[in-house]
A = this chain, B = another copy of it.
Amino acid sequence: MGSFRGHALPGTFFFITGIWWTVKCLLKYACKKHKRTSYLGSKALFQRIEILEGIILVCMALTGMLGEQFVLEGPHLALYDHKEGQWVQLLSWHHFTMYFFFGLLGVMNILCFTITSLPTSLTKLMLSNAFFVEVFVLYNHTHGREMLDIFVHQLLVLVAFVAGLVAFLELFIRTNVTVELLRTSFVLLQGSWFWQIGFVLYPPSGGPAWDAVDHGNIMFLTVCFCWHYALTFIIIGVIYALVTWLVKSRLQRFCPSEVGLLKNAEREQESEEEM
């Protein structure tokens, strides 16, 4: 993990997951708005998509877990070195644990949409658990490092915490597109921030890392973090435009007449629900 690649990998995972969740959430929202009649038909489809998502999540987590264990200087599943009387590569075990809980989320996704008697809110619970475990491990992760290193990891802790908090809140409230988008925005932010950490601590150009004790760097990374966050909203906006255009264009090809009539009535109803 202590390398550019070790931060780019989870960054990419989070970014892809974030984009996918945004697409899924907006697709559901647009479908619900434009063709409520055939919504039940697509429910089975969404169920299969959820199972596929679970499988992909498990694969991602396994990649990360195996990568942490069996890279050249990894712990190779050894936990305690009895000869030297010390723990082996605990930082790798930290990362392993974090990947493991995201793997659990994937497993729960598969189980919940396969076994119908399980409540689907368990996936939300595991998601929030995975984020909170990430927060907990990262919080105890940077002991004895430089100020800049601690700062960028603290921001990661912050974004994982709010993501976990929003996922936890979703347990209690009915599905709400705004809250779901808020969560995906934090997932995207986490992905792009992992890349930023890689660039700051292990510049891929081979140049020296940023000055770890210059307070100017921390001042800059503060605003940089906000700009990353603004970027996630632009990404979500673009996805929204694409998804809306796609759903509209496909609908108008197949069933232009009835939809036009339904749309206005539904819109009003929706907007009242939003109030």
Count of this chain's copies in the oligomeric assembly: 4
- Contact across chains for B226 and A133 when beta carbons are under 8 A apart: yes
A-B contact pairs, 8 of them (CB 8 A): A33-B117, A90-B223, A94-B223, A119-B270, A120-B274, A121-B176, A136-B222, A140-B218
Known A90-B223, A104-B233, A275-B175; judge A182-B125 contact (CB<8 A).
yes
Using a CB–CB cutoff of 8 Å, the interface residues on chain A facing chain B are 33, 86-87, 90-91, 93-94, 96-97, 100-101, 104, 116-117, 119-122, 124-125, 129, 133, 136-137, 140-141, 143-144, 169, 171-179, 181-182, 215-220, 222-223, 225-227, 229-230, 233, 244, 267, 270-271, 274-275
- Which residue of the partner chain, among B120, B124, B136, B169, contacts A172 with CB atoms under 8 Å? B169
**Residue from A120, A181, A223, A271 whose CB has the most chain B CB atoms within 10 Å:** A223
| CA gap between A144 and B216 in the complex, in Å | 12
Nearest to A144 among chain B residues (CB) is B215
Q: Determine the chain B residues whose CB is within 8 A of the CB of A218 once the complex forms.
A: 140, 143
Q: Determine the chain B residues whose CB is within 8 A of the CB of A129 once the complex forms.
A: 229
